[in-house]
Amino acid sequence: MKRRRTDRMSLTDMAEAAMRDAIAGVIEDHRRRRMPLSVWKDGRVAFIQPDEALAELNASKRYRVRSRHKKS
């Protein structure tokens, strides 16, 4: 987990950051294995590619998660 400044973050913010880091780890694992992710979208299960999931995660809130792989 990445170290963040905790003196300015509430417990809720720290929990949210930890959850987002965990989600980013799952996305990265699926990217490495070249496997789609199963997500719940519009009341149905949908399969999306890890790059699409990372883009949705980054667009969702104030915390940004960087991909750990280099673009080719």
- Which residue, among 36, 37, 4, has the nearest Cα to 19 in the 3D structure? 4
Evaluate whether 20 touches 26 at the Cβ level (below 8 Å).
Answer: no
Model's pTM, two decimal places?
A: 0.65
Residue holding tokens 């990372």? 54
Q: What is the mean pLDDT of each run of 10 residues along the chain (72 residues)?
A: 65 88 93 93 93 85 55 50
**CA–CA separation, 2 and 21 (whole Å):** 8
- Which residue, among 47, 41, 66, 71, has the nearest Cα to 55 in the 3D structure? 66
Residue 48, H or E segment? strand 44-48
Domain residue ranges in the chain: 35-66
